[in-house]
A and B are shown apart, each in its own frame.
Chain A
Amino acid sequence: MFKVRVIPCLDVKDGRVVKGVNFVDLRDAGDPVEAAIAYDAAGADELTFLDITATHENRGIMLDVVRRTAEACFMPLTVGGGVRTVDDIKTLLRSGADKVSINSAAVSRREFVKEAAEKYGEQCIVVAIDAKRVKRAGGSDRWEIFTHGGRNATGIDAIEYAQEVVSLGAGEILLTSMDRDGTRQGFDLPLTRAIADSVPVPVIASGGVGNLDHLVDGVREGHATGVLAASIFHFGEFTIRQAKDHMVRAGLPMRLDP
């Protein structure tokens, strides 16, 4: 039976793990390779690294982190952050990433998704969408795409954008609610559901997990096929196993392999 995925996400800056709270305050939480090994042993279904290294010179450090992780962990690894060219994707895949997530570069140039998918296959191209609810005078609210950690509005409708990138070859959507990220109030369920129901590919819900019920809600109410969380796992509040046991009790199919 096919199972729901639980995916811890590690934000990595200059080779060290950090966790942004609303993408502002950064805290150092250790060595990403050590964390990856711990999550592998704990039964995480996939791992995501988000490289938030600002300078081009330090990006090589991330490739080393990916390489060392792939040597030690035999589990699926997605890497995102600063992926702008087909060559960036090539070096990440060659270093040991299984999937590469594209964010701003797809917003500024949609064709990049197509080029990437044609070259490496749809299965390894994830498009990361950062969406925020926008009030519209006289109209109903909608979700729009934001870039640069939620600072830059684009005016692009999130649902239309998701459909467009999927038609261009995105094999998965990593959807983050910028309203919920770091709040611990749970996923933006209407957003998650709206996107998940409008595209044929898997949607991973992200942003706002504060307790284990939120993970259940992301799947049941949000129709996500995987749930991504960071701080509830990173700071030892809950283990991956506790999360999965909770989801099993809620009736969701989970992988509990030893």
Chain B
Amino acid sequence: MTVAIIDYGSGNLHSAAKAFERAARSMEDPQAIKVTRDPDAVYRADRIVLPGVGAFADCRRGVDAVDGMLEALTEAVRVKARPFFGICVGMQLMATRGKEHVITEGFNWIGGDVVKIEPRDESLKVPHMGWNTLDMVREHPVLERLPLGPKGRHAYFVHSYHLNAANEADVLARADYGGPVTAIVGKDTAIGTQFHPEKSQRFGLALISNFLKWKP
């Protein structure tokens, strides 16, 4: 079993790779974590992770800049139904469009736009930077045994934009930051988190483990 973490020049792959390696080590079936920018390796992988930090348009350009990557990714996830995990901007790219500074096309796997968060409470700062609890919207295997809700565990967020999903059924969890913020999306074999599981200590590792075990 191989897990491909896509390297398209965006930010901190090291942490994501290490967190997936740590989670994989504690599992029964060994899964090899491979950071790669080879579309063929992505196409052949059993699971795919798309990290992403920075601006939506930059990340989209980064994916497009690797020849054949988008085709391999789309084929693997949408046709071969491989489990996919988008992190932060990697999750936002699953949307129809990004509206950060300019309008940019997303992969359109999840209907909706990526829009600026606008907390109603003026004392709340943007970026939404720090730890927040999650409220479950829909049950999903990747959320199994994770303590959510106001008394549950926290996830680490760093973002100013979020995916405003067109279909409620695609939202698995939200956070509250002066209004609802989309925290986890899921559709078919793809999930995505706005927060950084690789930076969310034990909670993040537990979520990654669930993803690695998930057999959709």
Rounded to whole Å, the gap between the CB of B151 and the closest CB of chain A is 10
Q: Which A residues from 15 to 40 make CB contacts under 8 A with B?
A: 40
Rounded to whole Å, the gap between the CB of B122 and the closest CB of chain A is 9
User: Does the CB pair A94–B14 fall under 8 Å?
Assistant: yes
The stretch of A102-110, A116-124, A209-217, A228-236 that contacts the partner chain: A116-124
Is B136 positioned at the interface, with any CB of A under 8 Å from its CB? no
B181 to A, closest residue via Cβ: A2
User: Does the CB pair B12–A122 fall under 8 Å?
Assistant: no
User: Does the CB pair B199–A98 fall under 8 Å?
Assistant: yes
Report whether over half of chain B's contact residues are helix, strand or loop; otherwise say mixed: mixed
Is A71 positioned at the interface, with any CB of B under 8 Å from its CB? yes
User: Does the CB pair A70–B130 fall under 8 Å?
Assistant: no
Q: Which residues of chain A come closer than 8 Å to B131, judged between CB atoms?
A: 2-3, 5, 45, 255
User: Does the CB pair A96–B154 fall under 8 Å?
Assistant: no
User: Does the CB pair A1–B132 fall under 8 Å?
Assistant: yes
Q: Given A1-B133, A121-B53, do A74 and B205 touch, yes or no (CB 8 Å)? A: yes
A2 to B, closest residue via Cβ: B132
For the complex, give the distance between the alpha carbons of A255 and B153 in Å: 8
The stretch of B73-81, B103-111, B155-163, B166-174 that contacts the partner chain: B155-163
Q: Given A3-B131, A123-B127, A201-B125, do A40 and B201 touch, yes or no (CB 8 Å)? A: yes
Residues of B that sit less than 8 Å from A by CB: 11-15, 18-19, 22, 53-55, 58, 123-133, 150, 153-154, 156, 158-160, 175-177, 196, 198-205
Residues of A that sit less than 8 Å from B by CB: 1-5, 40, 45, 67, 70-71, 74-76, 93-99, 118-124, 171-172, 200-203, 223, 225-226, 255, 257-258
